Amino acid sequence: MKFVLKLYVTGQTPNSLRAMQNLKLLVKEVFETEPDIKIIDVLKNPQAAEDDKIIATPTLVKELPQPMRKMIGDLSNTEKVLVGLGLIPKKHLEGNTVQ
């Protein structure tokens, strides 16, 4: 299963640095095949943030496999990230999805 991910960050802010670090750890521990990851800085590429309707940063967008899902925050809650990526079933989550 090929993963295509986009991580929207804001420069080198603390939340963004933590998100990049947490994502690196995840890639090592969780993914069998190397996912295709793009890191996008909203300060340098605000048009991409507009196209993906990004409100909060950091935001990890799972483009593939479907369904597209957004995980906002510094990815510190690993369980929720795994649910967002579809790697563990949703019933683990005590219903904190928004929208």
- Judged by the rule CB under 8 A, the positions of this chain that interact with another protein are 8, 10, 13, 15, 18-19, 22, 42-43, 46-47, 49-50, 53-60, 67-77, 80-81, 83-84, 93, 96-99
Q: At its nearest, how many Å lie between another protein and the CB of residue 72?
A: 5
Q: At its nearest, how many Å lie between another protein and the CB of residue 57?
A: 4
Structural contact between residues 26 and 75, judged by C-beta atoms closer than 8 angstroms: yes
| CA torsion angle 78 83 89 93 (round to 10) | 80
Nearer to another protein, 25 or 56 (CB): 56
User: What's the residue count for the chain?
Assistant: 99
Pairing of strands 36-41, 4-9: parallel
Q: At its nearest, how many Å lie between another protein and the CB of residue 85?
A: 10
Nearer to another protein, 33 or 99 (CB): 99
Token pair recorded at residue 88: 């563990």
